[in-house]
Structure 1
């Protein structure tokens, strides 16, 4: 009995010890959680450990700056600095309160009350300026401390927000910012495997042109103005390279304050599936016929398209070659970012077809992104180029530019032996488009869709108005796709007509082409702008102007009636003097204009093409010296 009692006592002691250990562990967890959440201990420890002087790794990759192709800032990380006081460390309450109040423009009496309230720690101010931080540090006030953390800031607000994306807690959640995390992780892994150290200064340079981006913002805004409930998406790519020049959506969102928007407001219309309007499906069907007949060795004329009975499968093959049914894979979109492609919760759609048109086996749905990619490939002779936004990685400390390998020759979707069919596809496109506005070619059509809004079968009627534009821009053509989604009104209110999409776009086409040619010429001489500096200063005040994509016209010149004398002028000034002229400008060389066609004084009324020959000033001087010596 005694032995059993002793055993029972020992077991009880072990049980109490176990309970005590669990209790101590729970208290420790609560204390650690409180320290981490309230005092950001983890952040301090990580910053301390990662310092090279403390034995940490110097190769930790920070989120650098994102630039446009002209090295204008699109996203930058600023220091967000806050001031707090540990009251037990304060030596003089009145001196501390008066000093902080004078620098931070606060009420000294309220600060004194807080210091005397008995709290151990309280926040004095958040998002202080760099000047305020320096002044407080100079005073070296006991008990006054700073908390510093990086804050992602987007200086262009709504402009290119759907392309650039946004960051939360140091993690990219959307757009290029999402791709950035994976790119940095991949580079760090490869460097580690190779036994190398990657510079911590890894910045991204995008293919986006901020000046053209603002013109796209204006296009989207002006089209949406014709219908107050319209949602407009406009994306522009360079056909030969697949570089994304700009992407806009109206209404947009401010990535500096993205948490205020709903998921529907953040959704990217460019990656949301839509029913193809008849004109777009019919063009794809006829291109498939041309492709199929050329593939089989038969000759077919573009104006007498009729497939052979045994070639019906060519439609699906052509669709697959253009990858119109594949999921989106690009560097400025996260696949689960929008519900458009595969989310079962998305409303079901049904087109309201009025005409009995035979589209054979051409599928009826794709995304605007895939449609723009496919049409660009067709007009570029079958060249496969997926639109992308990241051009290269820029190390601002060393000046090194790391090419991502997208500038080489692309693959061809079709067999090169079928070159005749691609030429016929281009001719077919030109026969279907509207070219009455300018040198740009427009293909536009719309589809009306009944969209269910809930499980009870309620639906609403929406219209997807789709416009594809081929824009001549020197040696490399640009392709623009604009999608306008709105609820149609029947009948139209008095004085309200169809949305003037072509007119809105045509007002900007000439300037887009000129700006793109300028960017290609001066790309090798641009330097990173100083951009935003100092500390993060918080959100902008309520009511501040947040207009999306405005471009000043105060410096625009009237369109010239005759060819100006451009010899000796820079390309930028020459293009500015030609702006507004309805001519295609072709540029050869770099530097200043040494020759032009047509000559100065020629009427531009019937001129379609203008050629500018440029040379570097050093070469001009050498030529001049050579001629002088020959004359002597």
Structure 2
């Protein structure tokens, strides 16, 4: 019996440990599903990892770099502009600029209101910038010290103050039209700042910034910095000051609309001074009207009037069609050409050619022009550079207006002989007179003497350029003597400089009315262009007074202005009566440094 009971007990335990067939099947299915799920998950994960690590690797690395680092563009220090003696005319100083990282600004509306009060900007515009998706935006560039301090006191999260380069002109209005100005991005907009912007600006500087996931900066390092090159000019600061002072006085005294004056070395083409009045302060150029900012000495043109008689005289002398002593009948001060009567400012009788120019006789000049003829006269007009650019290194130069002989009327030859039916720039007229002064050579005017890199290396150096010979040296000397008579005996007596011989020509021309296309009966341009000393020219100077209400003749307002500029400039340059050093220098330039264009 006990044996049978133990046998039954073992049989009962064995039956409990063995699962039913249905339960075993369910367990197996669960194991298979779990295994397949794990295998599928591993396959998906492996595929995803493979895609991320192989196919998308380059894109993800680039995205990581964008998230962890930023590259902020800045501008390197702009090069300094110096006069010929190393005096600062344009420099760069540090200035604070306010920027923002919109993603870090906690309350854009409140920040915009606070910044508006500190920076004197409309809150709406600031808010618009703070709500952009860009990582960085500028709020206001080149702020004042007071504004920068006001922003710092706000302690706004996401608002930053960076130091940038700001252009500053220590002499304020002096040489404003030459220098020009730069914009808020430190790029040249006018004048030499524009002409030589590539050299002055240097290369763009980048700030490489490491940041966390919220774009908060961790540290920065500068990269790619290259300081701008310095620009050395032919301008003499003192001569520039003298020219501007006397030009302003002349415009004010005569009640004129405006005025221009240029001082040039007639042998080398170096511009020593260039001025316009009214003028402006390039430190605050946005406050000036466009007319005041316009470099009228280079970009505007006018009818030269009687000053152009020097050109018809040069052609006639060169072609040996006249001699200084040849006589002309003044016809009582009037001549009729093409049905139009042209009058002199006074009645003249018999005059020599020298007297025709000295007294600025229209009748005499027209008769000289008729001897020269259309074709030859046009050749000398174009030969002296009229109708073409002088190629000065300043932006916006005008070539003037010169018509070809086939377009001339029956009156044109006579009109051109007295400087009408033609438009020239003050610079062109001065370059032409310089050719008469220097022995008959047309030279290219220039303002930049050299460009020097930050390491002191000279990367550009300008030298005098001979364009072409327009008249012989013999004709040049003869005409210089004739033009000296304009100052000693004729209409240019007010241009005389004590102790020096001066040669030049006055001009008083009617202004062209843009609305009608006709010459005004009331508005004139008064001018004087000449050089000093006659035997050894050091300075060629032109003075233009536009629309004077009093002192309306070139001899009464432009000539005395020439005198004042010449006298004080000669004194500053240490040139005294009898100085002969210039002749040797001039010969050296003529033989050694001129380049044929």
The aligned residue for residue 478 of structure 2 is: 424
Question: Which residue number corresponds to residue 71 of structure 1?
Answer: 86
Per the alignment, residue 205 of structure 1 pairs with 232
The question of 1:303 aligning with 2:325 is answered yes
Q: Contact conserved, 2:391 with 2:445, CA < 8 A, in 1?
A: no
CA displacement, residues 554-607 of structure 1 (integer Å, 9 cap, x when unaligned): xxxxxxxxxxxxxxxxxxxxxxxxxxxxx4263869xxxxxxxxxxxxxxxxxx
Q: Which residue of 2 aligns with 1:484?
A: 545
Partner of 1:584: 577
How far the C-alpha of 1:291 sits from its partner, in A, is: 1.3
Partner of 2:297: 270
Q: CA deviation at 1:216?
A: 0.6
Show the counterpart of 1:324. 386
The CA distance in 2 between the partners of 1:505 and 1:285, in whole Å, is 23
* Gapped regions of structure 1 (runs ≥ 5): 1-40, 51-59, 108-118, 189-196, 343-351, 519-582, 590-632
2:83 touches 2:234 (CA, 8 Å); kept in 1?
yes
The answer as to whether partners of 1:208 and 1:245 remain within 8 angstroms in 2 is yes
Q: Distance in 2 between matches of 1:412 and 1:513?
A: 28
Deviations 1:105-125, CA, capped at 9 Å, x for gaps = 989xxxxxxxxxxx8899998
Alpha carbons of structure 1 residues 510 and 474: separation in structure 2 relative to 1, 3 Å: farther
Task: Indicate the larger mover: 265-274 or 307-316.
Answer: 307-316
Contact 2:507–2:527 at 8 Å: present in 1 too? Answer: yes
Retained in 1: the 8 A contact 2:543–2:562? no
Paired position in structure 1 for 2:189: 173
The structure, 1 or 2, with the larger RCO (C-alpha pairs under 8 Å, 6+ apart) is 1
Q: Which residue of 1 aligns with 2:211?
A: none
> What's the secondary structure of 1:423's corresponding residue?
helix
Tell me which residue corresponds to 1:372. 430
Change (3 A) 1:420 1:125: closer
1:419 and 1:141 mapped to 2: Cα distance? 74
Note closer, same or farther for the CA distance 1:478–1:46 as it changes in structure 2 (3 Å cut): farther
Instruction: Find the aligned partners of 1:458 and 1:410 in 2 and give their Cα distance.
Output: 36
Q: Map of 1:154-553 to 2, 5 A cutoff?
A: 154-168=169-183, 169-181=185-197, 200-271=227-298, 272-278=300-306, 280-293=307-320, 301-304=323-326, 312-335=374-397, 341=400, 359=417, 364-395=422-453, 397-407=454-464, 410-414=466-470, 418-434=472-488, 436-438=496-498, 439=500, 441=502, 443-449=504-510, 451-454=512-515, 461-472=522-533, 477-488=538-549, 500-517=557-574
- The question of whether the paired residues in 2 share the 8 Å contact of 1:81 and 1:126 is answered with yes
2:519 & 2:419 partners in 1: Cα distance?
30
Are residues 200 and 441 of structure 1, via their aligned partners in 2, closer, same or farther at CA, if it must alter by over 3 Å? same
Work out whether residues 440 and 509 of structure 1, in 8 Å CA contact, stay in contact via their aligned partners in 2: no
- Write out per-residue CA displacement over residues 401-458 of structure 1, whole angstroms, 9 at most, x where no aligned residue: 3343414x7354147xx43222222222223334644225253534342543537999
Report the CA distance shift for 1:476/1:517 in structure 2 as closer, same or farther (over 3 A): farther
TM-score (norm 2): 0.58
CA distance in 1, matches of 2:508, 2:248: 21
Please say if residues 78 and 202 of structure 2, whose CA atoms lie closer than 8 Å, have aligned partners that are also in contact: no
Cα contact 1:474–1:585 (8 A) shared by 2: no
Distance, in Å, in 2 between the alignment partners of 1:497 and 1:428 is 18
Structure 1 SS opposite 2:387: coil
For residue 254 of structure 2, give the secondary structure of its aligned residue in structure 1. Answer: coil
Q: TM-score, normalised by structure 1?
A: 0.55
CA distance in 1, matches of 2:534, 2:150: 53
Q: CA deviation at 1:472?
A: 3.2
Would the aligned equivalents of 2:528 and 2:555 in 1 still touch at CA under 8 Å? no
Cα gap change, 1:134 to 1:432, in 2 (>3 Å): same
CA contact (8 A) 1:205 1:393 kept: yes
Q: How many Å apart are 1:236 and its aligned residue?
A: 0.4
Asked if 2 retains the 8 angstrom alpha-carbon contact of 1:65 and 1:75, the reply is yes
Task: Output the CA distance in 2 between the equivalents of 1:389 and 1:262.
Answer: 25
Matched residues in 1 for 2:89 and 2:431: separation?
25
Q: What residue is the counterpart of 2:62 in the other structure?
A: none
Cα distance in 2 for residues equivalent to 1:323 and 1:237: 16
- The residue number in structure 1 matching 2:356 is none
* Whole-angstrom CA distance in 2 between matches of 1:402 and 1:86: 40
Deviation at 1:203, TM superposition (A): 1.2
Residue of structure 2 equivalent to 1:529: none
Paired residues of 2:506 and 2:529 also in contact (CA < 8 A): no
Query: Is the 8 Å Cα contact of residues 440 and 469 (structure 1) preserved in structure 2?
Result: no
Note the C-alpha offset of 1:198. 12
- 2: distance between equivalents of 1:160 and 1:128? 25
What value does the CA root-mean-square deviation take over the aligned residues?
5.4
Residues 451, 460 of structure 1: 8 Å contact kept: no
Structure with the higher strand share, 1 or 2: 2
**In 1, Cα distance between equivalents of 2:421 and 2:140:** 59
Please, which runs of 5 or more residues in structure 2 have no aligned partner?
1-65, 120-129, 205-223, 327-352, 354-367, 402-410, 583-597
Q: What is the SS of the residue equivalent to 2:417? A: coil
**Aligned pair in 2 of structure 1 residues 309, 140: CA closer, same or farther (>3 Å)?**
closer
Aligned partner of residue 433 in structure 1, secondary structure: helix
Measured after TM superposition, the shift of residue 269 of structure 1 is 2.5
Report which of the two structures shows the higher radius of gyration computed on alpha carbons.
Answer: 2
Q: 1:371: Cα distance to partner? A: 0.6
Change (3 A) 1:488 1:133: closer
